[in-house]
Structure 1
Amino acid sequence: MDPVLDDHMHLDPVNGRGVEACEEFADHGGTHLLVLNKPSWHYGVEVEEGGDFQTAYDHTVDVVRESNEVLAGRAWPVLGVHPALISQLVDRGYAPEEARDLMRAGLDTAAEYVADGRALALKSGRPHYEVDEAVWEASNEVMRHAFALGADLGCAVQLHTEDGEDFTEVAEWAEAAGIRREHVVKHYSTGGVVGPTPSVLADREELVRAAERGIPFMMETDFIDDPDRPGAVLGPKTVPRRTRWLREEGYDGALERAHVETPRMVYGIDTRATLE
């Protein structure tokens, strides 16, 4: 058995399928998962201080523990603050700078989980939709704080950002904070992203673009685990299925990069050694 890693999946043990979705992934040949916490508001938590983020983080740690019982490989939590939170906070009456500080505090809390080994990496980013200049700048400051934490912890940072392919400036910010650009992952990437390491949404055309560029990349579904949106964004079976398709198309070297070499480079994980 070869490793098959989904780099960005949500598992919601409270409102969604939770470990059952992981079982579907495993049944179709998936072996390793990075599980991202859902935003706190999915669990009915209105955050007011850094500790309020722990509810979402703890649910993620718990579902990863359950997932490790069903995977041939293993799962790891990636914890942090969803960038859309800033808009919710501003709508609640926070100034952008106050929202920034609360989101930084949420990242500080996530960093405690990484520091003690309960999580593998951090997540941050900036809104993927139009916002005013003050909110945009505050969001960039939150993201730069995540880079500083990642540098201190020696861990990777996954980013949720706007669409696009040239994120060279973001990679330069990471390097200025002391984190190598390859340790920054652009979640929901196309195959043409430059700057951070692309985590390519498992679309055939975009995976082939990444494969033929010969670059380090990973594959993801961004499965949301929302009962109101079953299968969104892509279902748990998708990365194993796309992996089989790429193998049939002769992209063995690209699959070694996506499932073994890039996860080792970015996160320091060994997907072969962690296979049963």
Structure 2
Amino acid sequence: MTDDLDTPVLDNHLHLDPRHGRGIDAVEDFVHLGGTHLLVVNKPSWHLGVEPDEPADFRPVFEETIDAVDAATEVLPGRAWPVLGVHPGLISRLVDERGFEPEAARDLMQGGLEVASEFVADGEALALKSGRPHYEVSDAVWDASNAVTRRAFELGAALDCAVQLHTEATEDLTDLAAVAEEVGLDPATVVKHYAEGRLAGVTPSVMSEKDRLERAAESGEPFLMETDFVDDPEKPGMVLGPKTVPRRVRWLVENGHDEAVRRAHVETPAAVYGIDTEATLE
């Protein structure tokens, strides 16, 4: 037990799937090690059996995520928040497997983001999620994906909410920071999930591996911590488990990085999402 961890502990990006995965058992593991807050991102739509033809088809994916968040909040010392959007990998399923033109796939995915934005507008979700493929794609698919991301930024600007991004592995996203600025969204509220220890342009959500965290801690820059836990029984070791962030917080504290822990779990969440991880602790 880590009840001696005198700090909020936020995992900025993980998935919960009570229907197929561990669900609340995973949350209880997180709490048992000292975890307090979660940002729960909806699983890719196809993982929940949804193959969308129109934007409204995404709605059940978002509603299922909100239900999982409500259940998680019941057991957390703090609370959970939903982050809703359209996984950028969907474009390849639509184009390569279902015969969509890239422009039609773009329109469907932008529509899905607009549905997600309704939940943010109603106060049911905290932020949006978008991005572009992390693998090689055609120019047409790349352009369509960047247009989807731009739409997410426009919605984020209109709603004054953060946008989490899934992108290629990189330490430089100044190109997307410029797009965010163009449409009126503060690039500091754009968050790259699965980030390295340093990142130019937007805020990194650092994968909780020791070498990456050490670089983030020593950078003096804002950062968040995440596991990208996928909660899939067929992929039990996929990415990092729900106990990882609390364990790494303890390791950072033991190594004299108290200031970095405060930055990642109190200051950056407040600056990026407008959430207070201290006031929301029981």
Unaligned 5+ runs, structure 1: none
Matched residue type, 2:167: T
What corresponds to 1:164 in structure 2?
A: 170
Aligned to 2:137, what secondary structure does the other structure show?
A: coil
Matched residue type, 2:90: L
What corresponds to 2:37 in structure 1?
A: 32
Matched residue type, 1:98: A
List 4+ stretches of structure 1 deviating above 2 A. Answer: none
2:198 equivalent to 1:192: yes
Cα contact 1:182–1:266 (8 A) shared by 2: yes
Which of 102, 105, 109 is the matching residue for 1:99?
105
What corresponds to 1:273 in structure 2?
A: 279
Question: Counterparts of 1:208-223 in structure 2 under 5 Å?
Answer: 208-223=214-229
What corresponds to 2:155 in structure 1?
A: 149
Aligned to 2:75, what secondary structure does the other structure show?
A: coil
Cα contact 1:40–1:55 (8 A) shared by 2: no
Q: Quick one: distance in 2 between partners of 1:265 and 1:230?
A: 33
2:180 equivalent to 1:177: no
Q: Quick one: distance in 2 between partners of 1:129 and 1:201?
A: 19
Q: Deviations over 1:126-159 (max 9, x none)?
A: 0000000000000000000000000000000000
Cα contact 1:225–1:231 (8 A) shared by 2: no
CA shift, 1:15, in A, is: 1.0
What corresponds to 1:66 in structure 2?
A: 71
CA shift, 1:74, in A, is: 0.4
2:131 equivalent to 1:112: no
Q: Deviations over 1:213-263 (max 9, x none)?
A: 100000000000010111321000000000000000000000000000000
Q: Quick one: distance in 2 between partners of 1:135 and 1:3?
A: 40
Aligned to 2:225, what secondary structure does the other structure show?
A: strand
Q: Quick one: distance in 1 between partners of 2:29 and 2:266?
A: 21
Aligned to 1:185, what secondary structure does the other structure show?
A: strand
TM-score, L = length of structure 2: 0.97
What corresponds to 1:229 in structure 2?
A: 235
Which of 126, 133, 139 is the matching residue for 2:139?
133
Aligned residues: 276
Q: Quick one: distance in 2 between partners of 1:231 and 1:25?
A: 16
Q: Quick one: distance in 1 between partners of 2:228 and 2:49?
A: 22
CA shift, 1:42, in A, is: 1.1
CA shift, 1:39, in A, is: 1.1
Q: Deviations over 1:74-109 (max 9, x none)?
A: 000000000000000002111000000000000000
Q: Give me the CA root mean square deviation.
A: 0.6
What corresponds to 2:8 in structure 1?
A: 3
Q: Quick one: distance in 2 between partners of 1:49 and 1:134?
A: 21
The percent identity for this pair of structures is: 65
Q: Quick one: distance in 2 between partners of 1:230 and 1:177?
A: 40
Aligned to 2:146, what secondary structure does the other structure show?
A: helix
Matched residue type, 1:87: S
Which deviates more, 228-237 or 70-79? 228-237
Unaligned 5+ runs, structure 2: 1-5
Q: Deviations over 1:175-196 (max 9, x none)?
A: 1111001000000000121111
Q: Quick one: distance in 1 between partners of 2:211 and 2:102?
A: 39
Which of 32, 52, 72 is the matching residue for 1:47?
52
Q: Quick one: distance in 2 between partners of 1:43 and 1:251?
A: 39
2:264 equivalent to 1:258: yes
Matched residue type, 1:61: I
Matched residue type, 2:150: R
Matched residue type, 1:6: D
Aligned to 1:191, what secondary structure does the other structure show?
A: coil
TM-score, L = length of structure 1: 0.99
Q: Quick one: distance in 2 between partners of 1:273 and 1:192?
A: 29
Aligned to 2:74, what secondary structure does the other structure show?
A: coil
CA shift, 1:209, in A, is: 0.2
